Structure 1
């Protein structure tokens, strides 16, 4: 046997220990990354600090100052080790003290068994497949910038993660374009994520520049509108792009509702040659009430399938994208524009969860009821509002979003969507819109009462509405009724002017031709 064929057991053992240390280091740091994401750390510096300190162990009672220390508190660090040494690969940074943390082979293992084990491990190392996950690079990054298609309903909030971002990039900038290659580009940045926007502070109809936030490199857009449809790019201030999205916000105007209990079926699929237009439904919401008959629904968005789509847009299903996607040619998009989003509703009945009986003030009230009349105790927080007679009112459920299961009650009467959903009756004065808001047009005295709000099957709040008829209500152009009155007045005046001009033109023509009798007005 030649010298080159002799097995170097020390080198094999050292390589085995290094591989075990590298695998342990990966598992430890990956667990630290997932733990940091669950804790929602506010900055990337804290996130990285948690990952780099994942090898530290807490002190125990037996660890005393000056005592004999048999276990290293920080077995992955050595004196004189710098930050760059920690960040390098384990095979370059591994030192002798790190190897002390690994268990040594049992003394009883024979040399033959050790040799066989090391030789088998080296042979199988070439066939080893290790599935490792990186939270920043879990999505494969194409060499050419692609667009990931995503569809939402209007008034919803959505989040776009920044995939393919290198770990050395500490801040990102989002860009928005209405059309690919457009000269008008919006730069969406909130000072490296230090300015946070809450959904409860966003007003309906406000500009997108005040309805977004960047958290952990992800873009959050609140109360999205159809005008927000377009292309979103994640990149840096220097114009380097990592990932892009093709976002389609479908309008809820004209949204069709079908009631499953009445035997109504959703829209049938449309076929125009190779174009297939259909509706994709989300999951059913939970029952919006408990203890009484409630309702649950699911939202359906418009999708189409065609082989003539642009190959630059990624599809979850081959040749399938949302109807408003930029991957759809203009001709095909025109053919699918009449396929509107749908809302399917059905009845449900679930029991309420048992809650513990509260003690304290209710107990005092119960005792006081033996002496006199028992005072009224609200079960949920009640907000009082005074509304002028004849003016409109919109009530929103606290913390509710369009995708939540929200229900409304007036005193002891349930306001079911079967009768109060917008669009069921054109002459509705009280209705619920697709954003789960309760509308009262031209408030009347009969509208007085307590309106309870249910969210995800739990009654969470109440609004006590009072209607007043006295007092002068100041007119303002911000009032919808005032704007409607002004518009109707101007339209009527314009119509009178047009009719007057047409009559004068006709008289002038008749006078010139001499074919009209002399009619004195």
Structure 2
């Protein structure tokens, strides 16, 4: 006669899952902070350790910053929590010092490193960042960031330079060689296709690129 199975304790199971999820989130937050600390070229180990230790803290939003300026009080709190300001004071760095500088990023070796850097760079600096990359075909060999095509359409404007246009054409050409290009292409929405079509139209304003853009349009659309 088989033994009767004990009922599953759902509360205990949920608690264990929550604890493991918190540990995993903290692990990835600290791992990302290590990349950030290395790219910022910390001058001492203490600076490196402080950045990693503060990985779980979320940045202050604009309303909180304005409130702190009025009260002359600086504070922070764990990410995902909405607790009230603590009485302990922490000196906050200036806003400009929090922005990543292009020269602090090393050349990404693969698409994962590219995504980690790309998402931390302000939009007005992304084209400058792309201009510095020399190994595009290698970076996107195995995969393509899902938001890259959308970002390229937004970053390139009608008044962009010919150098920017050549850069975009070069990137779009290298993406075709990616192993996942056909998969990414199959998931393009009507909006994505419309944005790409507009991008190709803008790129055609440069006579030396028109034939390349014509071929790219045929492949992408």
What TM-score, normalized by structure 2, do the two folds share?
0.29
| Higher RCO (CA-CA < 8 Å; seq separation 6+) | 2
More strand by share: 1
What TM-score, normalized by structure 1, do the two folds share?
0.15
Which is higher, the Rg of structure 1 or of structure 2? 1
More helix by share: 2
